[in-house]
């Protein structure tokens, strides 16, 4: 086991969002993803355009429930139902404790590779799909598109690869510098990278757009971009 920072230890190619990660998730993710909270704010603002009385909103990979709680608070004057899905039971338990005062938030342990979605107006995926094995992703995007009501939207945030080897080298270097500035030691950065081998599998900007277009989305816009971190808005 190697330390990756924030009192989290993991193995080579063995990163998991298990109990050991849950307790330190919020601090770790803020130091690992640039503009993490700004992305949350943007998702909340975008939700204004798609949620109204009677809407259903999903969050895929809800983790500890922070974002779904923020969206629910933003739209508390509307009669909206929220469903947060995560494959890790410790995450759902933590999220349930956080969101227990919201009767309109339903949290479920669910494998997104198998989940069937009800008709919805908004689906949020905040750095989640990148952890789903590539062979399952197209079918997931297909089900997302099919479940959305006409005019509904997918808000998708993902880590992305560069368009070619040169750009990828630049983006990787920038990300290492970002993590060093966050106070991570070099050996922690290397250990985290090793732990994510075969677990986190980013696609390029175009690769993600291709997934969305094959699913049926035609209206796709980048709403946030910083180096290798990107937010997309796809409207049905």
Tens of pLDDT, residues 131-183: 999 999 999 999 999 999 999 999 999 999 999 999 999 999 999 999 999 99
The angle, 0 to 180 degrees and rounded to 10, between the axes of the packed helices 66-74 and 36-47 is: 40
Give yes or no for residue 17 having a pLDDT over 90. Answer: no
Mean pLDDT of 212-232: 98
Instruction: Report the distance separating Cα 136 and Cα 16, nearest Å.
Output: 18
- How big is the CA angle at 102 (ends 99 and 107), to the nearest 5 degrees? 55
pLDDT by residue (tens digit) across 224-236?
999 999 999 999 9
CB atoms within 10 A of CB 73: 10
Is 120 within 8 Å of 58 (Cβ atoms)? yes
* H runs (alpha helix) in the chain: 19-22, 25-32, 36-47, 66-74, 89-98, 134-147, 165-181, 186-195, 205-215
The angle, 0 to 180 degrees and rounded to 10, between the axes of the packed helices 89-98 and 66-74 is: 30
pLDDT by residue (tens digit) across 33-71?
999 999 999 999 999 999 999 999 999 999 999 999 999
Ordered structural domains, the chain, with CATH: 2-235 (3.40.50.150)
């Amino acid at each position: 086991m190697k330390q990756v920072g924030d009192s989290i230890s993991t193995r080579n190619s063995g990163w998991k969002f298990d109990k050991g990660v849950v307790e330190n998730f919020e601090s770790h993710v803020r130091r690992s993803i640039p503009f993490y909270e700004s992305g949350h704010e943007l998702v909340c603002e975008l939700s204004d355009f798609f949620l109204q009385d009677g809407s259903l909103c999903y969050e895929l990979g809800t983790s500890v429930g922070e974002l779904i709680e923020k969206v629910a608070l933003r739209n508390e004057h509307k009669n909206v139902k929220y469903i947060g899905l995560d494959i890790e039971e410790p995450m759902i338990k933590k999220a349930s404790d956080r969101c227990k005062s919201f009767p309109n938030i339903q949290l479920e342990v669910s494998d997104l590779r198998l989940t069937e979605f009800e008709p919805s107006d908004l689906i949020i995926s905040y750095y989640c799909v990148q952890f789903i094995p590539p062979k399952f992703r197209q079918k997931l995007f297909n089900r997302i598109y099919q479940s959305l009501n006409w005019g509904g939207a997918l808000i998708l945030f993902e880590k992305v690869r560069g368009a070619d080897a040169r750009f990828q080298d630049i983006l990787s270097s920038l990300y290492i510098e970002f993590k060093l500035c966050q106070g991570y030691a070099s050996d922690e950065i290397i250990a985290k990278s090793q732990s994510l081998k075969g677990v986190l599998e980013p696609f390029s900007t175009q690769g993600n757009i291709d997934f969305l277009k094959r699913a049926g989305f035609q209206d796709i816009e980048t709403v946030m971009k910083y180096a290798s971190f990107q937010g997309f808005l796809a409207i049905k």
